[in-house]
Chains A and B, each alone.
Chain A
């Protein structure tokens, strides 16, 4: 597997897949976490609400018990007697005794007018106004009262009960201090942290608490923002808070750390994380597999396109898919086929152009079409034309090489155009000599007529050149020989250099006829003449005795065309049997 970078298609696919999955996982985890947190918070809030209700009821119940105890105390006849008749010291002593009976922290006697008659804490307090006149008013309204109050800077639960003899002669006020010990007792009851605060305007003073110093201070500061319930951070730990009013500006604060309620969910979070991690791993693997499957055809396309860029049109991509990528592959292959065709055509054209320089256009075309079958040796009846310049060797010896080349260029230019025009196959150049044959490799219906027609045209063209050269003092002539007959035609040569050649008597004879021809003369064999008799005017020559030929040969000299040049007939190329 190669992930050279995240910029690769495959890398991006994997990143996108896995990234999306991770985002979904993270989102769901966060949602669950938030829900769990909210649920835990609600759970604690509900618990605190219930605890708060219970707590208030508990406090009320204790108050009622206190009231009952105080009421019982006021029923004591000795107390009534003392309060009604005895001196203050005795009354205080009785009060002190009774305070111990009900284990109160303070017992006071208050006159109906609201002045202190006796106070177990402070003997000298006689006659001072009672600190909580509102409580007395309540007691007057309802007969008795109980309240949690701040008195002399400390928190008390006070009970006020009339001392009846049998009409009210005084109020007995019993107080139980609410301190850290009370809070600790309550914590044992509810399992919650309990704090008592006294609200003074916007400030809160803590009077009793199960918390230690720093937490108390933090809670005290945090309370200003909370009306009934909320969350306060104590030493960085969130605590859910519930505030219950229990008296005149007295608040009980119950609290529980959020972490305690979240503890049961720790397992759930671990499971969620494990499932998430496993899912992420699976997603990664899946993404890699999918990315590979996706990117494989893309990479195949890329490599095929690279090959195309390098000029190799051969390799089509394998198309196994039916999706867009498959379509792309198919299109690519179609494009490749198109490119291949075009390249083939281009190469063919190029080859044909190249071949045309060396071969006749017909041969070149055949060759460039890839049909090399006729290069194999075969027998065919052909018409062979030989021609050369008379006196060229002598001219070449005395003339400048540049002049020789110029002459040859002019000469070849003149005859070359005619060879093309008459669709002859130029077999070879030999300086001033040329050999051209007809009916191979491209068959034509009238090879002899063409050969003779071309010979006449060549003679006329070369004669015009020769006239010019003669004027320059170069005595040159031009002779032509033509014969027709069967020859073996095909490729000869060796690896690296082949020629397309015709071997046979017909070649030799036409060469001999060419040698025999004088300047301007076109000598043709009897067979040739028989073929073109109707087209040309010619005269029969005396029988020629030619070197290499046992019998003398009847030859004709063609003078001119009868009634102008005959139209050339182009024939469709017909494949000839090789023989």
Chain B
């Protein structure tokens, strides 16, 4: 009982801080995103985004997000961020990593380091940034930089949930690292009515996975 009240209070405070408009905007009910492949299997790590066709959604406050390196893997595998977000890459392993990206939205390189680099990386251009580690070929992660703050990443059941969106007309898109088609081609209209829950479902076709397999260390019996 306390948490919804707190959320409403926080929202109200945010709205006041943002512009101090007299009346509160009408909100839609929760929007459930469902992504499956052609066979009906749920697709994990898909990012469903809603772009308002009316007044653009207000930019959220700059968020600080992280991509961990745990046991020589990036965590999470897919990280959707609002454009302009800062991402830090803390290294939780006891060895060094060399994180890099040659993707055009953000080319960067964090040469061999341990711990958390002093300055996070700011992703100020939309697009897909593939992250790699120069000394561990199999390490791979994606940062998906979006121009809309309304997005959700699907869980293992292929579902995600968006709440507190303004009612109105939207365009829904889906992205996935192995999506066969361009994300722009997945755009489809979605109208959110005030207080009404909505659902947006995508059936996607995925390319076969392209990852360098992580081999088992024959001596230690554990991933190297």
Q: Residues of A with Cβ closer than 8 Å to B?
A: 75, 77, 80-81, 84-85, 143, 164-169
Contacts and interface: CB of A to CB of B under 8 A. Distances in A.
A166 B212 CA distance: 9
15 contacts: A75-B137, A77-B134, A80-B102, A85-B107, A143-B210, A164-B137, A165-B100, A165-B132, A166-B132, A166-B133, A166-B137, A166-B140, A167-B132, A167-B140, A168-B210
B6 to A, nearest CB: 42
Contacts of A166: 130-133, 137, 139-140, 212
Given A165-B132, A167-B132, A167-B210, 20 more contacts: A77-B98, A77-B100, A80-B102, A81-B102, A84-B102, A84-B107, A85-B102, A85-B107, A143-B210, A164-B137, A165-B130, A166-B131, A166-B132, A166-B133, A166-B137, A166-B140, A166-B212, A167-B130, A167-B140, A168-B210
Contacts of A165: 100, 102, 130, 132
Contacts of B98: 77
A164 B213 CA distance: 13
- Chain B contact residues: helix, strand, loop or mixed: strand
A168 B102 CA distance: 11
Interface in B164-215: 210, 212
A71 to B, nearest CB: 10
Contacts of A143: 210
Nearest to A74: B137
A81 B108 CA distance: 11
A143 B138 CA distance: 14
A81 B98 CA distance: 13
Contacts of A85: 102, 107
Interface string B89-122: 0000000001010100001000000000000000
A538 B56 CA distance: 207
A164 B107 contact: no
Contacts of A84: 102, 107
B132 A164 contact: yes
The 10 closest A-B pairs by CB, nearest first: A166-B132, A84-B102, A165-B102, A167-B130, A166-B140, A77-B134, A165-B132, A166-B130, A85-B102, A75-B137
A386 B198 CA distance: 189
A84 B109 CA distance: 13
A144 to B, nearest CB: 11
Contacts of A77: 98, 100, 134
A87 B98 CA distance: 24
B137 A169 contact: no
Given A75-B137, A164-B132, A164-B137, A169 B102 contact: yes
A160 to B, nearest CB: 15
Contacts of B139: 166
A167 B210 CA distance: 8
Contacts of B134: 77
A84 B212 CA distance: 19
